[in-house]
A and B are shown apart, each in its own frame.
Chain A
Amino acid sequence: MNKLFKYLTLGLVLMGFMACESQLDIAPFDIIDEQAAFETVEDLESGTLGVYGSISITAILDLNTKLSDNIGLAETNTGQGRQMFDLQFVTGTGEIGTLWADSYQVIDRANRVLAAIERIPGETAAEQALVQRIKGEMIAMRAWQHFDLYRNFVDFDDANALAAPYMVRSAISSPARIPKADFLDLLNADITEAESLLPADFTSQSNMTLTAVQGLKARVALYTKDWATAIDYATRVINKVPITNADNFLSLWNDSVEGEVIFRLKSLTVADGTIQIWERSTNVDVFFNAGFDLREQYDQTNDVRFQAYFDGILVKKYNWREGEKNLADTKLMRVSEMYLLRAEAYAQTADFTNAAADINALLANRLIVPETVAFTNQQQALEAIALERRKELVYEGHRYYDLKRTNQPLVRDSRDLQGAAASAIGMDADNFRFLLPIPQAEIFANENMTQNPGYN
């Protein structure tokens, strides 16, 4: 009996230890443990793709569409985007939270790649050059996203305003808002560093390139009213990127030519996301129409943009690919913006000849039968440039910012407001809603965060 008992006890003990502690150490299969994420230069490249792929293809477009005078409420809208369109957005409005969180997510991912670069300098000369380029792209991307945060959440006019936290490394923390001047210093430092790192011969439109960083610098200069820098950097870009002419303009929107685009987010398949701001693809429910007033601004027969951007009352701009509803690359920067930007800077410095020349250069590539403009005074020039800017860059993420930075009111056409709330009529230039609220979720999680005026 003792013998048997011993065997059984032994068996029990053995079986007990068969399943030992090490069997609880199960590594994930479909995801990668952090330590193994960045090991080679190829991993760094994957990291950059992750950063580009994390950028929202619609957030900036959506904001500048719904908070603009460029759309009208459609009869079949059953509430989609109404808080924004009706100008009733609050700290908890979903679109606002997305703008804030998406930018910081891209920044965090860029910072993680940058941190890994410190460990992976590359072995061969070619690898080292690639690593330097990746570093330039990531710093440029970090600057790009911080500038979006600036455009959304920071007061342009008040020199003492608080900006957003500027994140230069990945961290779980509760950062406070920093002074605007400090924020812009960090932003410009990033742009300068990226400029020094990015090689001139790297020209992929779906990556951050030297040209894109220079375009960003011109944009920042425009927003901060540094007209000389704006003219300087816009010129550098214009000299490198030819503008797409009227004949090829439609091909620009079905993505069959690369054309004048400086930076685009590639969308190859439906899985990459579709642009569904104006309608729902699956059931073809229209949420917003193209605005009446907007459509009336175009020469409907002579201007190729009218055909490219609209289909009757519907928005057509991102719906040109055959059999692929609302699938299109998101164009985040085109050279035509640089012409408009430089024209505005020239006008601001009272150089009306050059201002008109830039507008005429644009119109020469948009009108079938060319027409030219000439400016005689600053107000006329600025108004004409602003209108041309609205017509050229509509639904590309500019209108709300342009009103904000030029202190213009939002005035909507009553024909676009059928069924809308009374508040949708518009905003005076000094309305607090020209500054978006810090999202409720951030205020809630970060004890050091302070809200923008008007939202408390």
Chain B
Amino acid sequence: MSYLRTLVLMLVVFVPATLFAQNAEFKGNITDRQTGEPLPGVNILLLENARGAATDLDGNYSLKDLLTGTYTARISYIGYLTITETVTITSSGLTKNFRLDSDVSGLEEVIVTGYTEQGRNQITGAVSVVQPKNIELVPVASFDQVLQGQSPGLYVTSGSGQPGSAATVRIRGQASINGGNDPLYIIDGVPISSQDFATLNANDFQTISVLKDASSTAEYGSRGTNGVIVITTKKGRSGKTQINYQSQFGISTIGKPRFEMMDTQQKLAFEETRRSGPGWTNSPNNPSYASASPEERANRDANLAELRGIDTDWTDVFFRDGTTMSHELNFSGGNEKTRYYVSTNIFGQEGISERSSLDRYTLRVNLDYQANDNLEVGVNMQTGYSESSFIESEGGVSLANPFAAAYLANPYERLFNEDGTVAVGANRTGANAFDRLDKDLNARNEIKTVGKIYADYTLSDFQFGASIGIDYNRRDGNRFISPTSFAGTNVANGNAGLLARNTSMTARITSLVNARWQKTFNDVHDVSVFAANEFITTRQDGFNYTGYGINVKLPNTPAGITPGTPDNNQIPVVGGFITENALWSQFAILNYSYEQKYNLKLNIRRDGSSRFGTENQFAVLWAVGSSWIISEEDFMADFDFVNRLAARISYGTTGNQAGIGNFQWRPTYGTLSYDGRQGLVPVGVGNPALQWETAKKFNVGVDFDLFDNRLFGRVDYYNELTENLFINQQLSRTAGFNSLEINAGSMRNEGIEFELGGDLVRTRKLTVSARLNVANNINTIEDLGQVSEFEQGTSIIREGLSIGSHFAVPWAGVDPATGRALYRDLEGNVTDQFSNNNQQAIFGTSLPPWTGGGGLDIVFGNLSIRSQFNFAADYSRFNNQTFFQENPNFTQFNQNVIMNTMWTQPGDITEVQSANVGREFSSKDIEDASFIRFRNLLVSYNIPGRVFDGLANIRGMRVFAQGQNLYTWTRFTGFDPEDNNNIAQFEYPLPRIFTFGIDINF
């Protein structure tokens, strides 16, 4: 009970002191400079006597019983620039109003750095903060996609325009070859999987920190190598209940392709030249025409005339303008003990292809309760449910993929027969694909819950915390091929469609206990220690079945499945899986700060993983970081224009265990079926020595904030070496296995990141601010262990080169004399002989070394405009689509109009070789994929609350219009230069989205 005694003693000491105070009062009102709205909860502190207060709901503050005199008042509020002002309080008191500017630099005073938060001046690592206001309202379901161009070194590619598709996110390049490269995502302390952001509502996000270097990621140990994205969600604030409603509606449209396909006349003429297809078989120039009977000739003429009369625009058949709608309602508020934030969101988006959509419903409750002076408990809980419908064969080189069929289907092909049925049949492209899209289904429902319950107990300098978090995800896939569709009649088992359903769930339980000790000695030494024990277990299981012989009257239900018999070959297929892994860790973080000027951060973490054998089950990873706040030095006092200048340096190690199997270290047996019985076969060769990939990361950086915060930015240099890469060591096949997963080799990522922002104009009415970030990353494979290279088709992994390097035979044009395709051999000589032995790695990489983004924001009174660009440069991608669209061997498909320039006679100068010469994969298909994309434009107008004069308690309203993916500057001729792989293969392109909406505060 000694602490109670201390408390009483303190009260006894303080109470008399107030008795000597004068009766002067310091009061006033604090508002937002832009909106004029009162700001509740703002801290006002007099530095001389440490007296402080917070504003009430109406933005009023009051400090009573003050001694008269001159004080330094510091007014601080999260998200706003701190004001320090000298005030003189006389015996009659002082009434003073303050107007706060929102912190446009986005450099929050307190930054979430993972398990802990740090003051801006204590950060030692490379941490960048993505401002929620820069990404709010973007009508894209998957939050990761919205991060494009928001932070240097954070490269996000969407890969698909299917609503809700997860993006591929890389922080500071690719650190692993065979292992995982996705960053770790943490929401409110709960690690979540990276693939299902579509079922989370990003409007709930309050802060987003991107952790890049060792000092900031080492606390995540064996999961830190690929960087960490730490998200916290909104919390309620004490005060009156705030209600916010947002809604937007809009449409998605497909962009214009950068290539042109033939129309009917062109295609039939081309077929004539190619002597193939109906354009030739029905042609009067066909030698057989002369010898044909008059009836046969008339028949051919009629066929040709009929074909000429058809000109189906297949893009019209498959593509559409999709709609988007979103409603969001949230409530927040609380009192001194309880704070809450609850929200709900309904989001519906149709894709630009038929049968492509997402509908999502989310709920969130964040609740914090101060049980007593020591104990705080709370819960963060979100549940989402989404329904997705997908196209056929998304991203596949397949005629069922509408994005392939729309361009490869012949324009003289009909969609409908005269009787109104779809004109399906063998060798039809467009109608078959439409039939599949129209009658079949490929859908997925998903439930995702992310929740955490926590308790924090504070005891003088100590704080003890415990939490349990759950990331639960369940997916129900539904694949239906209708017995009435052409594809259904070709299902091998029973020729009457199929129904395939699968269910899978992932449950990740994270339990954490921690202790924190924080103390300031002699006013100058700030020390804090955070120690924790964490246990994370991830369990997954799944079940699936496929049934055949679907009853036409019972489509898309298990009831329609024909029971299997030994003879009907319609026995349903069942399957499933169960797997689990666990990670057990202890870690500590020490922060030391001297006068808020010199900072040191030490991290150490010991991880034990169930994925590794006893030989290497545990890893110890660590980091050291320090920073120097130069602007706090006395010698900087003369440099008035420098608001803040800091230098940071860090070094440490992180690990990666993603991308290998849960039981890969063990030698294992599995089953296979023979003669209707289960056989036993070895499935895993096992490697008890398997261990983590380890990255050694060095980072040095400078932060600056100049001219009254008008120009701010940061520069970072980093050098990261991943060692013990997961490599498939090839085995002699006499072993019965192809390869063994081992740790070997190393890869380096080295780069510079640069971020700059500032207000170009800052007046009372008008603010124009700009931001730009640029990153250059050079990836080099240093060592591959057993070998010096691996070929991977059109790309190669080779020591000394960047990962993603293209590997192709150099194209040297078309010989005007012979029409033969010309290539270069290894010596650089031109040859008309194609040989894969002449493949060379001189065509750059599919991973852009230069990436970045930026934007220009204008606020003029109540009108504000936000724009966002992003770019990637100096990289190239293989355009596989040209192989199908520009290939004389594929005359059964429609062709690019470029084929009209095909070499036909000596002297033709062209890039398209003679039809008699094979079409090979060569550097001709590698195209510069550099691009700049006008990612987003948001125009909004704030209608101040006073206009409504208390109507429906409206405190403010914003109306807005925005466009997403407005324009792309590129030389790439595929659908989209930006993609998550090295090759363009009819992937679902990103849509252009236009929306209008309102945002009302009550």
Give Cα distance in the complex from A179 to B513, angstroms: 66
Q: Describe B's contact surface by its main secondary structure.
A: strand
B571 CB contact (under 8 Å) in A8, A206, A269:
A269
Selecting from B30-38, B303-311, B573-581, B634-642, the interface stretch reads B573-581
Cβ-defined contact, B493 with A270, below 8 A: yes
Of B569, B608, B686, most A-chain CB atoms within 10 Å: B569
Q: Does B787 contact A (CB under 8 A)?
A: yes
Interface set, chain A 1-38, CB cutoff 8 A to B? 1-2, 4-5, 8-9, 11-12, 15-16, 18-21, 23-26, 28-34, 37-38
Q: A402-436, CB under 8 A of B: which get 1 and which 0? A: 00000000000000000000000000000000000
Give Cα distance in the complex from A54 to B684, angstroms: 15
Interface size on A, residues (CB 8 A): 78
Cβ-defined contact, A28 with B577, below 8 A: no
Cβ-defined contact, B533 with A12, below 8 A: yes
B608 / chain A contacts, CB cutoff of 8 Å: 21, 24
Give Cα distance in the complex from A445 to B787, angstroms: 9
**Contacts A12-B515, A441-B738 given; does A274 touch B674 at CB 8 Å:** no
B573 CB contact (under 8 Å) in A1, A32, A271, A284:
A271
Q: Does A53 contact B (CB under 8 A)?
A: yes
Which residues of chain A have a CB within 8 Å of any CB of chain B?
A: 1-2, 4-5, 8-9, 11-12, 15-16, 18-21, 23-26, 28-34, 37-38, 43, 46-54, 78, 100-101, 104-105, 107-109, 112, 165, 167, 170-175, 206, 266, 268-272, 274, 281-284, 321, 323-325, 327, 439, 441-442, 444-446, 449
Cβ-defined contact, B675 with A282, below 8 A: no
Cβ-defined contact, A47 with B680, below 8 A: yes
Interface contact tally, CB-CB below 8 A? 223
Q: Does B522 contact A (CB under 8 A)?
A: no
Beyond A37-B682, A270-B493: 15 further Cβ-contacts under 8 Å?
Answer: A19-B535, A24-B584, A30-B670, A31-B684, A46-B679, A48-B679, A50-B674, A107-B736, A109-B736, A112-B682, A173-B732, A174-B732, A206-B674, A269-B493, A283-B490
Cβ-defined contact, A446 with B584, below 8 A: no
**Least CB distance, A197 to chain B, in whole angstroms:** 20
Selecting from B164-172, B410-418, B659-667, B981-989, the interface stretch reads B659-667
Q: Would you list 27 pairs from A and B whose C-beta atoms are within 8 A, ordered by A residue?
A: A4-B459, A5-B462, A8-B515, A12-B533, A23-B584, A24-B584, A30-B578, A31-B684, A33-B669, A37-B669, A37-B680, A46-B679, A49-B677, A52-B674, A105-B733, A108-B734, A108-B735, A108-B737, A172-B732, A172-B735, A173-B735, A206-B674, A266-B674, A268-B676, A282-B492, A284-B490, A445-B733
Cβ-defined contact, B680 with A43, below 8 A: yes
**Contacts A11-B513, A101-B738 given; does A445 touch B731 at CB 8 Å:** yes
Cβ-defined contact, B580 with A26, below 8 A: yes
Chain B residue at minimal CB-CB distance from A207:
B675
Q: Does B767 contact A (CB under 8 A)?
A: no
**Contacts A323-B569, A441-B738, A442-B733 given; does A50 touch B681 at CB 8 Å:** yes
Cβ-defined contact, A109 with B495, below 8 A: no
Interface set, chain B 890-913, CB cutoff 8 A to A? 890
Q: Does B14 contact A (CB under 8 A)?
A: no
B679 CB contact (under 8 Å) in A34, A49, A283:
A49
Chain B residue at minimal CB-CB distance from A43:
B680
Of B466, B492, B493, B671, most A-chain CB atoms within 10 Å: B492
Closest 9 CB pairs of A and B: A108-B736, A49-B679, A53-B674, A19-B535, A50-B679, A50-B681, A446-B732, A16-B533, A445-B730
Give Cα distance in the complex from A78 to B535, angstroms: 54
A173 / chain B contacts, CB cutoff of 8 Å: 732, 734-735
**Contacts A34-B666, A78-B890, A323-B569 given; does A266 touch B493 at CB 8 Å:** no
Interface set, chain B 731-751, CB cutoff 8 A to A? 731-738, 740
Q: Does B673 contact A (CB under 8 A)?
A: yes
Chain A residue at minimal CB-CB distance from B585:
A19
Chain A residue at minimal CB-CB distance from B427:
A76
Cβ-defined contact, B459 with A1, below 8 A: yes
Give Cα distance in the complex from A43 to B682, angstroms: 13
B577 / chain A contacts, CB cutoff of 8 Å: 29-30
Cβ-defined contact, B582 with A100, below 8 A: no
Give Cα distance in the complex from A282 to B669, angstroms: 32
Q: B569-600, CB under 8 A of A: which get 1 and which 0? A: 10101000111111010100000000000000
Q: B736-774, CB under 8 A of A: which get 1 and which 0? A: 111010000000000000000000000000000000000
Q: Does B457 contact A (CB under 8 A)?
A: yes
Cβ-defined contact, A54 with B511, below 8 A: no
Chain A residue at minimal CB-CB distance from B786:
A445
**Least CB distance, B775 to chain A, in whole angstroms:** 37
Chain B residue at minimal CB-CB distance from A164:
B734
Cβ-defined contact, B736 with A105, below 8 A: yes
Give Cα distance in the complex from A53 to B670, angstroms: 12
**Contacts A31-B668, A175-B732 given; does A281 touch B492 at CB 8 Å:** yes
B466 CB contact (under 8 Å) in A15, A29, A444:
A15
Give Cα distance in the complex from A52 to B787, angstroms: 34
B293 / chain A contacts, CB cutoff of 8 Å: none
Q: Does B678 contact A (CB under 8 A)?
A: yes
B68 / chain A contacts, CB cutoff of 8 Å: none
B579 / chain A contacts, CB cutoff of 8 Å: 28-30
**Least CB distance, A440 to chain B, in whole angstroms:** 10
**Least CB distance, B697 to chain A, in whole angstroms:** 26
B49 / chain A contacts, CB cutoff of 8 Å: none
**Least CB distance, A83 to chain B, in whole angstroms:** 10
Q: Does B265 contact A (CB under 8 A)?
A: no
Task: For chain B, give the interface size range.
Answer: 35 or more
Give Cα distance in the complex from A96 to B673, angstroms: 25
Q: Does B345 contact A (CB under 8 A)?
A: no
B609 / chain A contacts, CB cutoff of 8 Å: 24
**Least CB distance, A100 to chain B, in whole angstroms:** 6
Interface set, chain B 536-587, CB cutoff 8 A to A? 537, 568-569, 571, 573, 577-582, 584, 586
Cβ-defined contact, A31 with B492, below 8 A: no
Cβ-defined contact, B673 with A33, below 8 A: no
Cβ-defined contact, B459 with A5, below 8 A: yes
Cβ-defined contact, B569 with A270, below 8 A: yes
B464 / chain A contacts, CB cutoff of 8 Å: 8, 11-12
Give Cα distance in the complex from A31 to B579, angstroms: 10
Cβ-defined contact, A165 with B734, below 8 A: yes
**Least CB distance, A124 to chain B, in whole angstroms:** 22
B372 / chain A contacts, CB cutoff of 8 Å: none
B457 / chain A contacts, CB cutoff of 8 Å: 8
Chain A residue at minimal CB-CB distance from B884:
A78
Give Cα distance in the complex from A37 to B686, angstroms: 14
Chain B residue at minimal CB-CB distance from A283:
B490
**Contacts A78-B889, A101-B733, A325-B492 given; does A49 touch B674 at CB 8 Å:** yes
Cβ-defined contact, A324 with B734, below 8 A: no
A9 / chain B contacts, CB cutoff of 8 Å: 515
Give Cα distance in the complex from A100 to B889, angstroms: 32
**Contacts A28-B668, A323-B569 given; does A444 touch B490 at CB 8 Å:** no
B421 / chain A contacts, CB cutoff of 8 Å: none
Cβ-defined contact, B462 with A175, below 8 A: no
Q: Does B87 contact A (CB under 8 A)?
A: no
Q: Does B291 contact A (CB under 8 A)?
A: no
Give Cα distance in the complex from A282 to B464, angstroms: 62
Give Cα distance in the complex from A11 to B494, angstroms: 62
Q: Does B2 contact A (CB under 8 A)?
A: yes
Q: Does B57 contact A (CB under 8 A)?
A: no
Chain B residue at minimal CB-CB distance from A103:
B733
A206 / chain B contacts, CB cutoff of 8 Å: 674-675
B675 CB contact (under 8 Å) in A49, A172, A442:
A49
B492 / chain A contacts, CB cutoff of 8 Å: 270, 274, 281-282, 324-325, 327
A50 / chain B contacts, CB cutoff of 8 Å: 671-672, 674, 679-681
**Contacts A5-B459, A324-B492 given; does A170 touch B668 at CB 8 Å:** no
**Least CB distance, B113 to chain A, in whole angstroms:** 22
**Least CB distance, A112 to chain B, in whole angstroms:** 6
A25 CB contact (under 8 Å) in B515, B610, B676:
B610
